[in-house]
């Protein structure tokens, strides 16, 4: 509504208010619509009190009696109907019978109770759909809705809650509802509604929930149930238990949305069966205990603990113990805060001259992964971050592995400056992604050093990146960007990139070896990345190939990295240059000396340079033979700037020194230009599309 109102040159908004908005017991919430500066054109009293099944049916009938006059007077081009309430079904029915186009918001989702049937019924009456999740979109397509009339928008409420939940005065809001002594993350929000298909059981669960909350002894905000059949009995249960008089409890009928956001986002836990628990709460990482079957089938983040058979107080109490006070990564299953611009763009695209009669797609529907209609489907993409010793790089990477846009800055020397720059670059990329029609599904980060990918923590960094040990990357970035975040070591990311986009496609077992400033890599076994018990599997650069070899940056001696890395070659090149042996075409090399000078000298026939390269490639080849004899991959992929220099020599060493069963294993060079960025993106794209890596 706010989005439409802000574009008066394109749209004229008419507001019709009916149902429980106009009931005193439920807060007369129509006043809040007026406070938001909306003109209400019509108010229709359509609720028949009784709070039972018959009253719900009578309310639908009363709405159908009153709506035709209003719709005939307004003659809307498009009627926007939201959700799955019974009064919304009356509105959609009236509009469909009066040949008014309907846009249904939040269709295609699955849950328990009669709401499920109502939601799908509205979808069948609607001409256009703005759904929240990829799965909801697929459900609508499976229901034979026209794919070209479905917009994957995200949930409009996320636009407001993601923008508003970081308010400086949030504690004032919390205290205004729960008292001065309440603390952040130390209270509970409870919201339980009737299940209209099993009213008596839902009333029993409500009583058990209140008993568990009384025993749990935490400050609790209890919201009254909605107006569905069974709500009156639930309120009686609450009053019999003295909830409204209990010092730990505050029972309220309604909380303004912006204040409700603060209460949920800073709660120690949310409990009940409201869709808010499985939808909005996930955006804040708030732990949720979901009771009963009302939300069965809903997509949820990892913050939700389901107690579907909530048949005892102790079971609910134990769930509270498990969840209370935890914090989870922010989930954006239901939106990224940009639903409204997408819906407005979609409304603009509707051709009012096209036939009003709906057509259904029986029985074949378009592939839901099609992304070639820019106002309907966006390109699924990831933000990829690569933390190198010199540069910090961020890229928008689409599902096919194309880098849509790349951003490069010098990597700061301090932790604080580095985190701030990552957030600044990612924020800029997210803004550009909207313009570029890319849907950002999450953030993948590739970092040098040893990484715990389960917790998103860099355990130990390389010497090239300062102030970068025991660093939690996931939490601050996820909290700031409201996106899920994955973190892994740059070698593992390179292996993931090869598996998804490069030489490793379709190969179950292979190893990737990165040859650059250092030596790293990753191992894929049985299609899965190997991390090891302490996350140092595939530290390939530190395989020891000589007991008395040169000193390595890790503190040991004789590692592959001490022989074959770019730094090792640079070290040997400087030695030769100091001895006046390092010449190219008879001329001494001008400082600064690099590994490239050594390689050039070797190609020009410098025997000393050739000897250094031969020793380096032999060390690398012997190290790779150790990999072949340990995990027996079927392919070795060399990546990095030195890969082409080493490939033939390593293949020769393997054929000469490996066991006969491993001598024919191929060594290929990578054809990927940005393996670290592509691998970081792969973590996001594979997980969010339910693939396993």
What is residue 413's three-state secondary structure? coil
Helices 675-688 & 490-501 angle (0-180, nearest 10): 70
CB 360, CB 146: distance < 8 Å: yes
Q: Which helix (H) or strand (E) holds 288?
A: strand 288-291
Q: Are strands 187-191 and 583-584 parallel, antiparallel or unpaired?
A: unpaired
For tokens 């025997």, what's the residue?
607
For tokens 């019974």, what's the residue?
86
What's the maximum distance between 2 C-alpha atoms anywhere in the chain?
Answer: 100
- Rounded CA-CA distance 543/509 in Å is 20
- Rounded CA-CA distance 387/404 in Å is 19
Helices 156-164 & 339-349 angle (0-180, nearest 10): 150
- Rounded CA-CA distance 671/677 in Å is 14
CB 331, CB 325: distance < 8 Å: no
CB 561, CB 542: distance < 8 Å: yes
DSSP result, 133-148: SHHHHHHHHHTT--GG
- Give yes or no: 309 in active site: no
- Cβ atoms < 10 Å from Cβ of 395: 26
- Rounded CA-CA distance 458/445 in Å is 10
Burial 332-368, CB ≥16 within 10 A → b, else e = bbbbbbbbbebbbebbeeeeeeeeeebeeeeeebeeb
DSSP result, 344-411: HHHHHH--TTS-SS-----S----TT----TTT-PEEEEEEEEE-SSEEEEEEEETTS-EEEEEEEEP
Question: Can you read off the two tokens belonging to residue 294?
Answer: 């009302």
**DSSP state, residue 132:** S
- Rounded CA-CA distance 187/503 in Å is 52
Q: What share of the chain is helix, strand, coil (3-state, %, to 5)?
A: 40, 20, 40
Phi, psi of 545 (to 5 degrees): -115, 0
Q: Which helix (H) or strand (E) holds 271?
A: strand 269-272
Among the listed residues 87, 115, 488, 490, the single catalytic one is: 490
Q: What is the chain's Cα-based Rg?
A: 31
- Rounded CA-CA distance 224/29 in Å is 14
Phi, psi of 293 (to 5 degrees): -110, 5
CB 77, CB 352: distance < 8 Å: yes
Q: Which residues have a Cβ under 8 Å from the Cβ of 178 and sit 6 or more positions away?
A: 187, 219, 221, 250
CA distances for 271 relative to 48, 188, 491, 544, 668, angstroms: 29, 7, 42, 55, 55
What is residue 487's three-state secondary structure? strand
Q: Which helix (H) or strand (E) holds 69?
A: helix 53-74
Task: Report the catalytic residues.
Answer: 490
């Amino acid at each position: 509504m706010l989005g439409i109102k802000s574009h008066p040159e394109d749209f004229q908004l008419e507001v019709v208010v009916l149902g429980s908005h106009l009931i005193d017991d439920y807060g007369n919430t129509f006043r809040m619509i007026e406070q938001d500066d909306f003109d209400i054109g019509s108010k229709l009293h359509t609720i028949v009190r009784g709070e039972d099944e018959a009253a719900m049916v009578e309310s639908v009938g009363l709405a159908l009696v009153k709506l035709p006059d209003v719709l005939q007077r307004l003659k809307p081009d498009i009627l926007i109907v939201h959700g799955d309430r019974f009064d919304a079904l009356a509105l959609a029915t009236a509009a469909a019978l009066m040949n008014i186009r309907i846009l249904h918001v939040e269709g295609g989702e699955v849950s328990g109770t009669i709401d499920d049937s109502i939601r799908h019924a509205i979808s069948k009456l609607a001409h256009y759909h703005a759904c929240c999740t990829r799965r909801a979109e697929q459900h609508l397509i499976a229901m034979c809705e026209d794919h070209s009339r479905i917009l994957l928008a995200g949930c409009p409420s996320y636009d407001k809650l993601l923008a508003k939940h970081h308010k400086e005065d949030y504690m004032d809001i919390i205290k205004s509802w729960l008292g001065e002594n309440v603390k952040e993350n130390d209270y509970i929000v409870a919201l339980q509604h009737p299940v209209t298909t099993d009213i008596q059981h839902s009333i029993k669960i409500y009583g058990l929930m209140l008993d568990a909350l009384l025993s749990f002894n935490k400050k609790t905000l209890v919201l009254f149930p909605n107006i569905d059949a069974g709500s009156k009995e639930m309120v009686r249960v609450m009053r019999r238990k003295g909830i409204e008089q209990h010092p730990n409890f505050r029972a309220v009928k309604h909380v303004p949305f912006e204040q409700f956001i603060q209460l949920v986002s800073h709660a120690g836990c949310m409990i009940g069966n409201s869709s808010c628990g499985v939808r909005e709460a996930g955006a804040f990482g708030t732990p949720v205990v979901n009771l009963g079957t009302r939300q069965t089938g809903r997509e949820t983040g990892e913050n939700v603990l389901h107690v579907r058979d909530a048949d005892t107080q102790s079971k609910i109490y134990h769930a509270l113990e498990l969840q209370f006070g935890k914090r989870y990564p922010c989930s954006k299953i239901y939106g990224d805060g940009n639903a409204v611009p997408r819906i407005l763009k979609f409304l603009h695209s509707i051709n009012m001259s096209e036939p009003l009669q709906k057509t259904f797609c029986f029985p074949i529907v378009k592939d839901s992964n099609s992304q070639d209609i820019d106002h309907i489907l966006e390109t699924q993409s990831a933000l990829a971050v690569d933390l190198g010793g010199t540069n910090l790089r961020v890229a928008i990477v689409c599902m096919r592995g194309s880098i849509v846009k790349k951003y490069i800055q010098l990597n700061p020397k301090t932790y604080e400056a580095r985190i701030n720059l990552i957030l600044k670059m990612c924020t800029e990329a997210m803004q550009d992604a909207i313009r570029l029609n890319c849907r950002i599904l999450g953030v993948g980060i590739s970092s040098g050093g040893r990484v715990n990918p389960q917790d998103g923590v860099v355990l130990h960094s390389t010497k090239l990146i300062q102030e970068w040990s025991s660093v939690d990357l996931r939490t601050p970035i996820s909290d700031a960007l409201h996106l899920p975040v994955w973190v892994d070591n740059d070698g593992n990311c390179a292996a993931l990139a090869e598996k998804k986009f490069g030489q490793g496609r379709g190969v179950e077992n292979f190893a990737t070896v990165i040859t650059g400033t250092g030596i790293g890599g990753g191992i894929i076994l049985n299609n899965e990345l190997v991390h090891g018990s302490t996350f140092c599997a595939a530290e390939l650069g530190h395989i020891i190939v000589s007991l008395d070899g040169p000193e390595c940056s890790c503190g040991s001696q004789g590692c592959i990295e001490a022989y074959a890395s770019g730094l090792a070659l640079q070290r040997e090149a400087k030695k030769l240059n100091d001895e006046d042996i390092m010449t190219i075409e008879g001329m001494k090399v001008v400082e600064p000396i690099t590994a490239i000078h050594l390689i050039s000298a070797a190609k020009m026939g410098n025997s000393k340079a050739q000897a250094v390269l031969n020793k380096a490639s032999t060390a690398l080849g012997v190290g790779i033979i150790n990999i072949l004899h340990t995990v027996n991959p079927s392919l070795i992929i060399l990546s990095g700037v030195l890969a082409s220099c080493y490939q033939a020599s390593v293949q020769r060493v393997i054929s000469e020194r490996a066991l006969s069963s491993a001598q024919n294993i191929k060594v290929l060079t990578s054809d990927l230009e940005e393996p670290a960025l592509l691998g970081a993106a792969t973590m996001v794209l594979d997980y969010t599309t339910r693939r396993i890596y």
